[in-house]
Amino acid sequence: MWRITWRRFCRSKLALVALAYIGVVALVALSAPFLAASKSSPIPFGPNDVDVANRLHPPDTQHRLGTDELGRDVLARMIHGARVSLTVGLIATAMSALVGSFLGALAGFYGGAADWIVSRLIEIVLCFPFLFLVLAIVAFFGPSIWTIMLALALTNWTSEARYVRGEVMRLREMEFAHAARASGARDYRIIFRHLLPNALAPVLVSASFGVAYAIVTESALSFLGLGVPLPTATWGSILSSAKEFVEYAWWLIVFPGLAIFMTVAAFNIIGDRFRDALDPRSE
């Protein structure tokens, strides 16, 4: 099944471009300490190196993407910002996928009271504007990368839970599940060994959208000044300082925004095409 899905996924050129782009961003993020650190690195600036003589300098051969209001190199800050965006996106989504899959599996497998409780819980979370909850959690517990990831996970587990609930409900009535039960497997073994691995595909679709959500929301928090604390470079925080210089520093607006947009779009496209590849009706 995975091979067929993969082949159908590859039929979309756009999806492959998106996947390749994410690969490049991940590589850049991983090699950030070597790419942009000091005078000897390929980009001869660290993210917090201050070049006082060249504050708010437009892009030129020295500073490829210009400098910010303190004279820091925008390209170097963006390379390091990729680390924050990807870390927050992936870890927050992993947390919400774990919680969502677990609760969704319980609800789908046992039905009845378990299903009722999980469904009400989802309903409650969906009543809150997600940004209200995220802002409140970050403000109450202090802005750090961990509270941000926690807040994102808390607002986003519902989509995974709904997907898994539906899948598990369908799968538990299938023959292999009955066979596992007949051969004496316990509930947790049926859920974790037999049902959840088969529900993995929809979780991955939802997780791909989840990463996009987490990245754009983390950037929004940084933009609003409640993100990962300064002086850590994030894409959102570069945009946040651009707010003050909207009148002349176009490079502070265009480049980090483009990075956020393309990364978010890539994860959204991958999720969408993967979902299409899983859907037999999309032929």
Partner 1 sequence: MLTYVVRRLLYGVLTFFGITIAIFVLVHSVPGDPVSFYIGSHGMGALSHAALDEIRREHHLDQPIPQQYGWWLRGIVTFDFGTSFINHRPVTALIAEKLPSTFMLNLVAFLVAALIGVPIGLWSATRSGRTSERASGVAFFLLYSLPSFWVALLLMQLFSVHFHILPLFGMTSDDYLDRGLTSKVADRAMHLILPVVTLAYAQMAIYARFSKSALTEVIRQDFITTARAKGATSAAVLWHHALRNALIPLITLLGLTLPYLVSGSVIVEEIFQWDGIGRLYFDAISTRDYPTILGLSVATAVATLFASLLADILYAVADPRIRLEGK
Instruction: Return the number of other C-beta atoms located less than 10 Å from residue 130's C-beta.
Output: 17
The residues facing 67 across adjacent strands are 73
Angstrom distance (rounded) from CA 185 to CA 178:
10
What is the C-alpha to C-alpha distance for residues 219 and 227, in angstroms, rounded to an integer? Answer: 7
Q: In the complex, what is the shortest distance from the CB of residue 266 to partner 1, in angstroms, rounded to a whole number? A: 8
SS3 category, 67:
strand
Region from 38-46, 56-64, 188-196, 254-262 binding partner 1, contact rule CB under 8 A: 254-262
d(CA 168, CA 156): 19
Judged by CB under 8 A, which of 28, 56, 226, 278 binds partner 1?
Answer: 226
Scanning 40-48, 67-75, 90-98, 136-144 for contacts with partner 1 by CB under 8 A, the matching segment is 136-144
Residue 88 identity:
V
Of 139 and 174, which CB lies nearer to partner 1 in the complex structure? 139
Q: How far is the CB of 44 from partner 1 (least distance, A)?
A: 28
User: Which residue, 195 or 260, is less far from partner 1 as judged by CB?
Assistant: 260
Instruction: Provide the minimum distance between the beta carbon of 125 and partner 1 in the complex, in angstroms, as a whole number.
Output: 8
The residue range among 3-11, 79-87, 156-164, 243-251 that interacts with partner 1, by the rule CB under 8 A, is: 243-251
Question: 48-64: string of b/e by CB count within 10 Å (b at 16+)?
Answer: ebeeeebebbebeeebe
Rounded Cα distance, 199 and 211, in Å: 19
What residues numbered 163-222 form the site for partner 1, per CB under 8 A?
A: 212, 216, 219-220
Q: How far is CA 220 from the centre of its chain?
A: 13
Peptide bond into 33 cis (omega under 30): no
- DSSP assignment of 100-147 equals HHHHHHHHHHH-HHHHHHHHHHHHHHHHS-HHHHHHHHHHHH---HHH
- The reply to whether 265 sits near partner 1 by the rule CB under 8 A is yes
Residue in 19, 114, 224, 278 binding partner 1, rule: CB under 8 A: 224
**First-to-final CA distance of the chain:** 15
141 binds partner 1 (CB under 8 A): yes
How many residues touch partner 1 under the rule CB under 8 A: the total is 44
Tokens 């082949």 — which residue? 7
- What's the CA gap between 249 and 92, in Å, rounded? 32
Nearer to partner 1, 205 or 216 (CB): 216
| Near partner 1 by CB under 8 A: residue from 157, 163, 223, 251 | 223
Closest distance of CB 38 from partner 1, Å: 31
- 255 touches partner 1 by CB under 8 A: no
Contact set for partner 1, span 102-131 (CB under 8 A): 120-121, 123-124, 126-131
Residues 16-75 that bind partner 1 (CB under 8 A): none
* Binding residues vs partner 1 (CB under 8 A): 14, 120-121, 123-124, 126-133, 135-137, 139-141, 212, 216, 219-220, 223-224, 226, 236, 239, 242-243, 246-247, 250, 253-254, 257, 260-261, 264-265, 268-269, 272, 281
